[in-house]
């Protein structure tokens, strides 16, 4: 079975979630990965480690701005060129915006938040996360072509493949597809991207103010983690909105989520309930978050965090 | 300005999620339904844009009769009229097709909706609608300013945000902080009773998927509490029990 995997890159590197998507695709059939915009051939060849036999590269510089319509056009064109029946991508802000268009172009069924390999014993059934991680649905896809968006951190990255061949793919992209003009981009530099992160350290109102975020950042640095925050914290502009974890912010699914000074409103829990392990540190022993946690410490963040940071540093040294 | 706002009718965030009929149906028993929180942002911004520019807001829901109170709430918040496509929203393709069928002849300057519903969390209907209508689509949109026939939008990207200039019309999947949610006032609630809510039948029943069965995740074990003076125990558990560091 021919599988096309659209891979997103960040700062010239294939994202971890894209490697998860390739690994997913490799379990289904022969994977051709697709990269758009400027990326080095050497980096693209590493998609082979995760199971891609070939990488198609549409290097059109106009694709460095990730505009939705040309992305959808290029992905659909690559799917047609390779005769792929299944198109796989990691779920992300960009992919969410793009793949609906791709599915319509291809007449394909589309399912998002996929958390497991399909059951093909009787048709094609996939398991997806629904109700913001509070349940799953098993869905039968009834069209020949299928587009699957894989939930981040749901699939283990395969690392035993070889280098992939990289081939240029030429796609005609009409200027009219580039109608939107990007006037500015603001991006946090050098940080671990929150939606991609394996470990997340989040702070809430218990931190008392933005000037105290150093204890969160120190712990995150030690753990190689991304930093997040609760909604009130981003509402008060202590931290930027793209760090807001929760129902209406970023939903994360790390292996470890550390919540500091966050009481655990249901809207926050909805953004973190796919985490594999949750650690809660809070002064209030009645904080509802403890009920959702695997490990809990009742204590003052400003006393606990420096001690925890030192202990972690020693353990990880 | 002529704005179409597509809303979902979804269980409140705090709802207990359970299934019935051999795990093939969502159990609505005791569940409060609301306008999808992201759709609520889209509606609130539409109301602000109408206040600035004049025009009309039509709210659209694909759903059965039990959506009507949710639609009336949208009318109370400030929509002028409503359309309900009288059908169970079977899958994203079906919903997008119904929205496109309503929108294609409506002459809408903007088609707004939430970035995703909070029941199925797919986040893909806006793109499907854009493609079906041949219109640009943008998501997740955090800010939206309209000047004449063009708009300035800010969209969230992973780890940041990006500003774009675009021409109307387009489809946008919205999220905070595009606007503050609006709470209906008494005047809005009274006037919503007399605003038109037109019920139309679906154009077709085509779907691309079928629901087989729902599942609930495995129950979580009890929390292990660790003394604040013994953080080394937590480090040990993370390393040797959970194996996450």
* Per-residue pLDDT of chain B in tens (245 residues, 90 and over written 9): 999 999 999 999 889 999 999 999 999 999 999 999 999 999 999 999 999 999 999 999 999 999 999 999 999 999 999 999 999 999 999 999 999 999 999 999 999 999 999 999 999 999 999 999 999 999 999 999 999 999 999 999 988 899 999 999 999 999 999 999 999 999 999 999 999 999 999 999 999 999 999 999 988 889 999 999 999 999 999 999 999 99
In angstroms, the first-to-last Cα distance of chain A is 45
Residue B140 preceded by cis peptide, ω within 30: yes
Q: Which tokens sit at A59?
A: 């290097």
HSE-CB of A228 using CA atoms within 13 angstroms: 32
Please name the member of A66, A125, A311 whose beta carbon is closest to the beta carbon of B212.
A125
B40 min Cα distance to partner chain A (Å): 11
- Are B151 and B144 in contact by the 8 Å Cβ rule? The answer is yes
Give the percent of chain A with pLDDT over 90: 91
Q: Which residues of A touch B120 (CB under 8 A)?
A: 112, 130, 137
- Are B95 and B209 in contact by the 8 Å Cβ rule? The answer is no
For tokens 């496509």, what's the residue?
B85
Q: Of B74, B95, B75, B93, which is closest to residue B85 (Cα–Cα)?
A: B95
Domain residue ranges of chain A, discontinuous segments joined by +: 2-178, 194-316
Interchain pair B160, A185: CB under 8 A = yes
- CATH code, residues A2-178: 3.40.50.620
What residues have CB less than 8 Å from A204, skipping those under 6 apart? Answer: A229, A230, A232, A233, A259, A260, A261, A262, A263, A268
Please name the member of B166, B213, B238 whose beta carbon is closest to the beta carbon of A179.
B166
Cα–Cα distance, B158 to B139 (Å, whole number):
12
How many other C-beta atoms can be found within 10 angstroms of the C-beta atom of residue B32? Answer: 10
Cα–Cα distance, A130 to B121 (Å, whole number):
6
List phi, psi (to 5°) of A97. -70, -25
Write down the ipTM of this complex: 0.95
Give the angle subtended at the CA of A254 by the CAs of B121 and A305, to the nearest 5°: 130
- Which residues share a beta bridge with B83? B60, B198
Q: Which residues of A touch B19 (CB under 8 A)?
A: 135
Q: What is the pTM of this model?
A: 0.94
A312 min Cα distance to partner chain B (Å): 6
In this chain, the answer to whether the domains covering A2-178 and A194-316 adopt an identical fold is yes
From chain A residues 231-290, the ones with a CB under 8 A of any chain B CB are: 241-242, 247-249, 251, 255-256, 266-267, 270, 276-277, 279-280, 290
Is A97 exposed, middle or buried (CB count within 10 Å of its CB: 0-12, 13-18, 19+)? buried
Is pLDDT at A160 greater than 80 in this prediction? yes
Binding site residues of A for FAD, as ranges? 205, 261-268, 282
Pick A194-316's CATH classification: 3.30.300.30, 3.90.420.10, 3.40.50.1220, 2.130.10.10. 3.40.50.1220
Pairing of strands A295-298, A277-282: parallel
How many other C-beta atoms can be found within 10 angstroms of the C-beta atom of residue B228? Answer: 17
What residues have CB less than 8 Å from A214, skipping those under 6 apart? Answer: none
DSSP one-letter code for A119: B
B235 min Cα distance to partner chain A (Å): 6
Interchain pair B93, A110: CB under 8 A = yes
- Which residues share a beta bridge with A130? A135
Cα–Cα distance, B40 to B182 (Å, whole number):
8
Is pLDDT at A189 greater than 80 in this prediction? no
From chain A residues 178-207, the ones with a CB under 8 A of any chain B CB are: 179-188, 191, 193-196, 199
Give the helix/strand (H/E) hosting A222: helix A214-223
Residue B177 preceded by cis peptide, ω within 30: yes
Q: Which tokens sit at A237?
A: 């502009």
Interchain pair A93, B158: CB under 8 A = yes
- pLDDT at position A193, please? 85
Mean pLDDT of the A95-115 span = 97
Closest-CA residue of A relative to B174 is: A248
Interchain pair B210, A99: CB under 8 A = no
- Which residues share a beta bridge with A3? A31, A86
Closest-CA residue of B relative to A291 is: B223
- Are B49 and B43 in contact by the 8 Å Cβ rule? The answer is no
Interchain pair A315, B239: CB under 8 A = yes
Q: How far is CA A282 from CA A256, A300, B11, B48, B139, in A?
A: 17, 7, 30, 39, 35
Give the helix/strand (H/E) hosting B83: strand B81-86
Domain residue ranges of chain B, discontinuous segments joined by +: 2-217
- pLDDT at position A248, please? 84
Specify the CATH architecture of the domain B2-217.
3-Layer(aba) Sandwich (3.40)
> pLDDT per residue over A30-79, tens digit each?
999 999 999 999 999 999 999 999 999 999 999 999 999 999 999 999 99
């Amino acid at each position: 079975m021919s599988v096309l995997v659209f891979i997103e890159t960040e700062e010239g590197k294939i994202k971890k979630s894209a490697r998860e998507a390739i690994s997913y695709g490799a379990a289904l059939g022969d994977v051709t990965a697709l990269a758009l915009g400027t990326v080095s051939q050497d980096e693209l060849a590493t998609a082979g480690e995760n199971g891609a036999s070939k990488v198609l590269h549409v290097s059109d510089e106009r694709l460095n701005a990730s505009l939705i319509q040309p992305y959808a056009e290029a992905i659909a064109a690559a799917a047609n060129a390779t005769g792929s029946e299944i198109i796989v991508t990691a779920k992300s802000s960009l992919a969410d915006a793009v793949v609906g268009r791709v599915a319509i172009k291809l007449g394909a069924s589309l399912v998002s938040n996929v958390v497991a390999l399909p059951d093909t014993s009787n048709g094609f059934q996939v398991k997806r996360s629904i109700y913001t991680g509070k349940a799953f649905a098993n869905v039968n896809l009834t069209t020949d072509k299928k587009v699957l968006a894989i939930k981040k951190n749901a699939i283990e990255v395969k690392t035993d493949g070889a280098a992939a061949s990289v081939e240029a793919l030429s796609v005609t992209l009409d200027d009219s597809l580039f109608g939107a003009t990007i006037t500015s981009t603001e991006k946090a530099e050098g940080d671990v991207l929150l939606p991609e992160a394996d470990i997340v350290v989040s702070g809430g109102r218990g931190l008392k103010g933005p000037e105290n975020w150093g204890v969160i950042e120190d712990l995150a640095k030690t753990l190689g983690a991304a930093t997040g925050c609760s909604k009130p914290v981003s509402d008060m502009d202590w931290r930027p909105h793209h760090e807001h974890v929760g129902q209406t912010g970023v939903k994360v699914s790390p292996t470890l989520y550390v919540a500091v000074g966050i009481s655990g409103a249901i809207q926050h829990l909805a953004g973190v309930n796919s985490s594999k392990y949750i650690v809660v540190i809070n002064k209030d022993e009645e904080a509802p978050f403890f009920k959702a946690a695997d490990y809990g410490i009742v204590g003052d963040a400003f006393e606990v965090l420096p001690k925890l940071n030192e202990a972690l540093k020693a353990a990880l040294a | 300005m002529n704005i179409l706002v597509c809303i979902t009718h979804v269980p409140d965030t705090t709802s207990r999620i359970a299934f019935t009929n051999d795990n093939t149906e969502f159990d609505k028993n005791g569940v409060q339904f609301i306008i999808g929180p992201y759709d609520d942002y889209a509606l609130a911004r539409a109301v602000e844009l109408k206040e600035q520019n004049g025009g009309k807001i039509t709210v659209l829901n694909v759903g059965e009769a039990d959506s009507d109170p949710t639609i009336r709430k949208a009318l109370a918040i400030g929509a002028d009229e409503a359309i309900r496509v009288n059908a169970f929203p079977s899958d994203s393709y079906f919903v997008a097709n119904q929205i496109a069928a309503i929108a294609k002849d409506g002459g809408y300057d903007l088609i707004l909706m939430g970035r995703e519903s909070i029941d199925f969390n797919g986040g893909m209907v806006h793109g499907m609608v854009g493609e079906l209508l041949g219109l640009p689509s943008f998501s997740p949109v955090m800010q939206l300013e309209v000047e004449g026939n063009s708009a300035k939008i800010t969209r969230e990207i992973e780890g940041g945000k990006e500003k774009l200039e675009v021409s109307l019309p387009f489809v946008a999947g919205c999220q905070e902080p595009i606007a503050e949610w609006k709470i209906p006032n008494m005047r809005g609630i009274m006037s919503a009773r007399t605003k038109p809510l037109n019920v139309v039948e679906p154009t077709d029943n085509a779907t691309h998927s079928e629901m087989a069965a729902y599942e609930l995740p495995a129950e979580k074990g009890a929390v292990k509490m660790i003394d604040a003076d013994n953080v080394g125990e937590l480090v040990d558990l993370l390393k040797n029990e959970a194996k996450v560091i």
